[in-house]
């Protein structure tokens, strides 16, 4: 059985779902950040799969760009989390409800 577009897309959907569910059900902000990375990875996989299928190089360019964006996002996100931890001694998402006000 040859490995084709459907397989790539199925894998990407599975990874995205894991990331999404993880983001929603976990309370640890660091884990939630990792889940976001999972979703981004799934998106990258979809880009790459279509790029290869359609023979359009633009998809690869987007993948590379997404790496850069994801790296920046993680860097900033972790920095914020470290700062939050220093102030609150906790990274539980359900305790960070200042957005409500």
Partner 1 sequence: MLEMSLRWIVFIPLLGAAFIGVLNRRLPGRLAGWLACATVGLSFLLAVQAVLRLAGLPPAERVVTDTVGRWLVFGSLQLDIGFWLDPLSAVMILVVTGVGLLIHIYSLGYMAPDTGLPRFFAYMNLFIFAMLLLVLGENLPLLFVGWEGVGLCSYLLISFWFGEDANATAGRKAFITNRVGDFGALLALFLIGATLLPVLRPGLGVFSFGVLQQHAHLLAPVATAVALLLFLGVAGKSAQIPLYIWLPDAMAGPTPVSALIHAATMVTAGVYLMARLSFLFVLSPAAMAVVAGVGIATALFAATIALAQTDIKKVLAYSTVSQLGYMVAACGVGAFAAAVFHLMTHAFFKALLFLGAGSVIHAMHHEQDLRVMGGLRRKLPVTWATMLIGTVAIAGVPPLAGFVSKDEILFEAFLAAHGGFPWLWFVGFLAAGLTAFYMMRLLVLAFLGENRASAEVRAHIGESPATMTVPLVILAVLAVGGGWIGWPHGLGGGAWLQEWLAPVLAGPAGHGHASATLERGLAVVSTLIALAGLSLGYLVYARRPQLAAWGRGWLRGLPHRLLSRKYFVDELYAAAIYRPLQRAADVVCFRWLDRGLIDGLLVSGAAVAALFAGSVLRLLQNGLVRFYAWVFALGVTVFTVYLTLQG
Query: In this structure, how many other beta carbons lie within 10 angstroms of the beta carbon of residue 99?
Result: 5
Q: Give min distance, CB of 11 to partner 1, in A.
A: 18
Helix ranges, the chain (H): 5-25, 29-54, 58-88
Cβ distance to partner 1 smaller for residue 26 or 52: 26
* Nearest distance in Å: CB 17, partner 1: 10
Residues of this chain that bind partner 1 (CB under 8 A): 20, 23-27, 32, 93-94, 96-101
* Min separation Cβ 2 and partner 1, Å: 26
């Amino acid at each position: 059985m040859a490995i084709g577009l459907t397989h790539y897309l199925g894998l990407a959907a599975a990874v995205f779902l894991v990331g999404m569910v993880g983001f929603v059900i976990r309370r640890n902000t660091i884990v939630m950040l990792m889940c976001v990375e999972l979703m981004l990875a799934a998106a990258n996989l979809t880009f790459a799969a279509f790029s290869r299928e359609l023979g359009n190089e633009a998809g690869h360019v987007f993948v590379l760009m997404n790496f850069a964006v994801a790296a920046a996002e993680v860097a900033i996100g972790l920095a914020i989390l470290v700062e939050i931890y220093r102030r609150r001694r906790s990274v539980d998402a359900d305790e960070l409800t200042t957005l409500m006000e």
